[in-house]
Amino acid sequence: MQHKASDGIGAVSVLGEGTDLEVTVIEFGARLASIRFRGREMLLAYPRIEDLASDPFALGAVCGRVANRIENARFSLDGREYQLTANDPPHSLHGGIRNFANQCWQQVHADAHSTRLNILSPDGDQGFPGTLRTEVHYQHNGHNTLDIHFTAKTDAPTPVDLTSHGYFTLGQSDTRRLELAINSRHYLPKTRANVPSGEITELTVSNTLDHRRSLAEHEARWNDADLKSHPGFDHYFPFHRTPLQPQATLWAPHSGVKMQLFTDQPGLQFYDGGGLGGRFAPYAGVCLEPHNFPNAINQPGFPSPVLTPDEEYQRSIRLVFNDLA
C-alpha cells in the first residue's frame, strides 16, 4: 500500500500491491483510478493519474447523492418541491453540477488491503434536503476480489442512491468485442427525454441479455427488436435473483479475462461507452453501474430511494476477476 499526496487528486492508496490484483484508489471522487489484474489494466484510464482531476466522464468515481438522472432536475418530497442543479439539461445527472464524483473525499483509513473515504454533503447541496454523511469502503479480499461498500446517514429525509462508475475494458480497446450477460429478464424503456418512462418491460428470448453474447450481437438483436429510442446501450436492467449467481459477467476473449459482478442493488445501468470522446474513442470502455431504479424519486411504481434519519443506507458491490477457462 502506498499513500501520498498528489496535486488535484488527493491521497493515493494501492490495495493488494504485489498480488495478481492491484487496485488504486484516489481521494478525488473516491475513485478507482486503476484495477490491474496480472499486470493488465482492467479500467479505462488516463496516461497520468493526475489527469483525473479534469476528467469529464466520472471515470471510476463514486456517483451521488443520486446516481443516474432525475427528470427535469426536480422532485417533491413530503409536500415540498426541490429544484436541483441541472448538469445534463434539463436533468440532474449523478447528483448535479458539484456531485460526489468531482469533489475530494477524505481518506479516514488506509492499509495494505483496504481504504475508507468519507464526504459531508450539507443541507441544500445541489438542491437536496438534509445533511448527508457518506462513506465508501474498498476492501481487497484476496482471491482476486474487490469489495465496495457504501454507507450513508442523513438528518432529514432525502433521496440517496450511490454507485461506482468504472469504465471496464478488461484489457481490450473496443467494448463491442467484449461479451456480456446480465442476470435480468426486464428493462426500463426510456422516453425521448432519456429518462425511464415508468414501465418495466419483459424481454423475450430473442432479445434478453441474460446469455453470453458480444456487445455487438446484443446491439444487433435489440436493433432488430426496435427496443431503443436512442442509439447504443444506456439502459437500466432490474435483476431477477438467482442464489449465488453473479448479477452481471463480462468476458474478454482476446485478453483472456472474466469479471463477475455481485451486488445487493435491485438492478444496474448498462452503458456501452458510445458517447465517449476527447482523449477516448467511442466504445473504449463499458459501465456496469449497480444502483436503484433511475428517477425513482419521481416514479411511485419504482423502489423508493428516500433515506430517513432513523435508517442507514448500506449497499455493496463485489468484483471478481479470473482467467478465462
Q: Model confidence over 9-54: pLDDT tens digits?
A: 999 999 999 999 999 999 999 999 999 999 999 999 999 999 999 9
User: Is 266 a residue whose pLDDT tops 80?
Assistant: yes
CB 127 within 8 A of CB 95: no
The CA-CA-CA angle for residues 302, 308, 310, to 5°, reads: 135
| Catalytic one of 165, 218, 235, 291 | 165
pLDDT above 90 covers a percentage of the chain that reads 88
Exposed / middle / buried, residue 19 (Cβ in 10 Å: 0-12, 13-18, 19+): middle
User: Is 203 a residue whose pLDDT tops 60?
Assistant: yes
Is 289 catalytic? The answer is: yes
What mean pLDDT is predicted for residues 231-258? 89
How far is 297 from 264, CA to CA, in rounded Å?
19
Is 17 catalytic? The answer is: no
User: Is 244 a residue whose pLDDT tops 80?
Assistant: no
CATH number corresponding to 3-323: 2.70.98.10
CB 2 within 8 A of CB 22: no
Instruction: Give the pLDDT of residue 2.
Output: 54
The domain ranges of the chain are 3-323
310-324 confidence digits (pLDDT tens): 999 999 999 999 999
Q: Is 169 helix (H, G, I), strand (E, B) or coil?
A: coil
Q: Would you say how long the chain is, in residues?
A: 325
User: Is 5 a residue whose pLDDT tops 90?
Assistant: no
Q: How many CB atoms lie within 10 A of CB 293?
A: 24
**By mean pLDDT, which of 6-10, 19-23, 133-137, 214-218 is the weakest?**
6-10
Considering the entire predicted model, what is its pTM?
A: 0.96
Instruction: Give the pLDDT of residue 243.
Output: 60
Three cell numbers written together for 269 = 445501468
| Catalytic one of 27, 71, 135, 289 | 289
Q: How many CB atoms lie within 10 A of CB 63?
A: 24
170-186 confidence digits (pLDDT tens): 999 998 999 999 999 99
What mean pLDDT is predicted for residues 189-197? 92
How far is 98 from 283, CA to CA, in rounded Å?
26
What mean pLDDT is predicted for residues 234-258? 90
What mean pLDDT is predicted for residues 55-63? 97
Instruction: Give the pLDDT of residue 8.
Output: 87
Q: Calculate the dihedral angle through the C-alpha atoms of 28, 125, 188, 232, rounding to the nearest 10 degrees.
A: -40
Instruction: Give the pLDDT of residue 242.
Output: 66
